[in-house]
Structure 1
Amino acid sequence: MEPFVLNSVANVAQVAQLTGPDSINHTDRFDVAGQDLGSMFEADGRTWFVFGDTFGEREPGLTGGGGTRWRSNAMAWSTDTDPTDGIRLDGYLLDEQGGAAEVLPSEKIDQREMTVIPTYGFAANGAMYLAFMSVRHWGDPGEWETNFAGLARSRDQGRTWVKLDHPRWSGDSNFVQVSVVNRDGDLYFWGVTHGRFGGVRLMKVAEADVEKQGAYRYFAGTDDDGRPRWSADEAAATTIVQDTVGELSVVWNSYLSRWLMTYSNGGSTDVSIREGVNPWGPWGAEIPLVTQEAVPGLYAPYQSPISGTDGGATIYFTLSVWGPYNVYWFKADLVSTR
C-alpha cells in the first residue's frame, strides 16, 4: 500500500450559505440570525448539525459573535442526501417559543462558565451523544480557557439532554475538542486541547463502554512491528499530528481509502487537510484546504458524512466565517497520485 496518495485539492468552492436570514434555509424562521460551527453526525436516519453560539437578531454590519437571544448551542437535522447543491435543513430542535433551542445550558458568566460548546456528536448504544467543552473565558484569537470536557446523552432523538458526570477530561487535557468515529464497534476520539495551538492525540473505547471513564485507552505509539499500543493512562498518549490544530474533523474517505482530517490551523490561520493510513497514522503532510486570503475569517471545517455521487472524490464540508458569523457549505476535489 502506498503510504500517501493525496497530492492536493482542486476546485474548492462555496456551494451555499446554510445559516442566517439570507441562507438557503432562511434560519431566521427558527430565530437564528447568526451561528457558527456545524459539525455533523448521523443518527436515526438523519444528518444532525451541531452549532455553537447562536443569536436571534444581529445589527447590520456586526462582526463576529453577538446579538440578541444568545444560546450557547443549537442543533438542526436534515434528510437531504444530495450535498451537491447545499443542504436543506428540515428543522431545529425547538424551545417553547418555537425558536432553535439551547440543548446544553451554560452559566454564561465570564471567568466561571462563559459558554458550553459541543465539539462533535455521535450515535452509540441506541442513544445520541454530544462531546462538549465548558468554556471559562474566551481569550485572544484562537485561544480560550476551559473548565473541562465531557459527554451529554439523549435517549429521545435530541429532545432532552443530560450532561454526564463521567467520563470527563480536565480543561488542559488533549481531549477538550474531539472528532469521533465508530469503527467496527470501537469509538475513536481524535483530540486536541483548548484553542488552536496544539497537536492531535487519539483515544478509543468500546461502544458499549462509552460512559465508563476507566474503559478508555490512549494511543501510546507503535511496537517494532508497527502495531498500535494502547494505554489506560492518559498521560501516555502520544501526539500523532504535530501542528496548531483546532476544530478538527476526521472521516474515512472511500475514494482514497484513507482517513481525512480537516482542521482550523492556528499557525497559518488557514484551514488544512491531511490523510492518514490508520486512525493513529502515519499522517501525511498538511495541505491547505481553504486559505484566509480566499475566505477572510474562516474557521471550523467540518466534513460531511455524505459523500455524494462520485464515491468520495469530492468532499463537502461546513465552514464558519467570522465576519457574517454564519455557516457555509463548501466542496473540494481530491487530487490523487494514483
Structure 2
Amino acid sequence: MRTLVRYCVTTVTVTVLTLTLGAALASANPNAINPIPGLNGVNGVPQLGGRARAVAQQTGILSQNRTQDLNVLGTDLGIMWDNGRGEILTAFGDTAGLGLPNLLSGSLWAWRSNVLFRSTDRDLSNGMDFSSAVTDAFGQAKELIPSPKIPFVEISRIPTAGIAVGDTQYLSAMSVKNWGPAGTWETNYSGLIFSNDNGENWAPAPETVRPSEGGNRNFQMSAFLKRDGFVYQYGTPPGRGGLVHLARVPEAQIRDLGAYEYWDGGAWVRDVNAARPLMGDGVAELSVQWNDYLGQFLMLTTDAHNSVVMRRASSVTGPWSPPEVIVDTRELPSAYGAYIHPWSSGPDLYFLTTVHQNYNVLLMHTTLHR
C-alpha cells in the first residue's frame, strides 16, 4: 500500500501504552487495548495446529500493509465485500492510533469507529495487500461515519456487514450505546450508510434505521448475501451469543424497510416480529456466502466458547449443519469475528479474524472438504 504519512512509535506511544495496559485489566471496553508488538505479548503470526492456519497479519505494525503509516496501529473486524469494480472493500471497526486520546469514551488512544481499505489482490496465499485507503487531509485513515463517543449516548458506530448494489456501496452499522461485561453491549439502533464514490464519502440512510427493540432488535448486527435478485440479511441482537434471524429484500429496494420480508420458519412474511431463529445455537459476528466448490452456503461465526466455527446449508434458510470448529479457542483464545473473503475459490477458504490480545486482524486459511 502506498504510504501517505508515517507515524513513529515514540515515547508518547509508550506512555499511552502504559495507561492502556492498566485500563485493560479493569474494563471490558474493547478500546482499552494494546496494539504494540512484543509489549502486548504477541510478536509474529501465530502457529496453529488445527484446521486453519494464520496466513498473515493484515493490520498494525507487523503487517506487510504498514497500516501504521495511516495511523492505524490497531483495529478489529474486517467486513469484506466485492464492490463490483474488481476490488474488495474492507471496513474495520474501532481503530486505535496516535493523537489526542478520547478519555470520555474510555479510550486512551486516538480512536475512530470505522475505517476502510481496498484491495485488488487475488493471490491470498501470502496475505492480502491493500491498494488504497480512505484517508483525510492529513493522510490518516478517515472515520467514515463519525460518532460522538459519549457513553450512554453513542459510544461508537461500528460496521457489521457490507454489500454493493449497482454503483452504490452499503454498510450496515450499529450505534453502540454502551459497553457491558466482555461480549455484551447495548445498541441504540442499526441502519444503513451508503457511498456513491467507492467508499470515499458516506452518508446515513435514516429511512433504514431499526431501533433496538421488538423484532428489529434481532437485526442490530448483520451479514449480507446477494442471491437471485435479493439481498439476504442475517441478523443477531447486540452482543455475542444471540440467535440468527433472516430477512430479504429485492436489491433495488434495499433502502425501503417496508419491502423487507422475514423468514418465520416456513414462509416469508412482512412482519419483522414474526421472524423465527434459523437455529437453536447463539452466535457472534457472522458472515455468509455461497460456495461453488461445495455447492452449499457457508456461515462462519464464533460459538459460545469463542471458537471460530463453520456451518453449511443447501438453502439460504437452512437447515444449517452442526458447527465444525475451524479455529479452536484454546489455540487462539482471544480471537473473535470470522469474515469470509469473497474471492475464496475451490477448496481454499480465506477469512479475517481479530486477535484481541494485540488488537489486530489476521488473514486465515482453511481447506474445505466435500
How far did 1:10 drift?
6.2
Rounded to whole Å, the distance in 2 between the matches of 1:13 and 1:125 is 35
> Which runs of 5 or more structure 1 residues have no equivalent in the other structure?
1-8, 59-64, 223-228
- Measured against aligned partners, the alpha-carbon deviations of 1:29-53 in whole angstroms (never above 9, x if no partner) come to 1111000000100112210111000
Question: Could you say which residue in structure 2 is the equivalent of 1:150?
Answer: 191
TM-score for the superposition, normalised by structure 1? 0.89
> Greater share of helix residues, 1 or 2?
2
Q: 1:278 maps to what in 2? A: 315
Q: Gaps spanning 5+ residues in structure 2: where?
A: 1-48, 100-105
Kindly provide the amino acid, as one letter, of the partner of residue 295 in structure 1. Answer: L
Residue 31 of structure 2: aligned partner: none
Greater relative CO (CA pairs within 8 A, separation 6+): 1
2:283 to 245, 269, 277: 245
- Matched residue type, 2:254: V
Matches within 5 A, 1:209-224: 209-222=253-266
Number of residue-to-residue matches in the alignment:
312
Alignment counterpart, residue 176 of structure 1, candidates 201, 214, 220? 220
1:72-114 alpha-carbon deviations (Å, 9 max, x no partner): 1100000001111110011210011101000011110011100
Q: Which among 162, 178, 196 is matched to residue 137 of structure 1?
A: 178
AA at the equivalent of 1:293 = R
What per-residue deviation string (whole Å, max 9, x for no partner) do you get for residues 219-265 of structure 1? 1122xxxxxx1111001101102212111000111111111101122
Please name the residue that 1:35 is paired with: 75
Match for residue 358 of structure 2? 324
Q: What are the equivalent positions in structure 2 for 1:1-338 lying under 5 Å apart?
A: 11-43=51-83, 44-57=85-98, 66-172=107-213, 173-222=217-266, 229-265=267-303, 267-308=304-345, 311=346, 313-336=347-370
Q: Secondary structure at the residue paired with 1:119?
A: strand
Taking the aligned partners of 1:307 and 1:109, their CA distance within structure 2 comes to 39
Q: Is the 8 Å Cα contact of residues 217 and 232 (structure 1) preserved in structure 2?
A: yes
Assess, with a 3 A threshold, how the Cα gap between structure 1 residues 298 and 272 changes in structure 2: closer, same or farther.
same
Percentage of pairs with the same residue: 38
Letter in 2 for 1:28: Q
Conserved? CA contact 1:217–1:231, under 8 Å: yes
1:66, distance to aligned residue in structure 2 (A): 5.0
Residue deviations 1:153-185 (CA, integer Å, cap 9, x gap): 111111111111111212241111111011121
CA drift at 1:188: 0.4
Deviation at 1:67, TM superposition (A): 4.7
Match of 1:3 in 2: none
Kept after mapping to 1: 8 A contact 2:91/2:159: yes
Query: What is the one-letter code of the residue matched to 2:240?
Result: R
What is the distance in 1 between the residues matched to 2:164 and 2:120? Answer: 16
Amino acid of the structure 2 residue aligned with 1:317: F
Going from structure 1 to structure 2, the CA distance change for 1:135 and 1:161 (only over 3 Å counts) comes to same
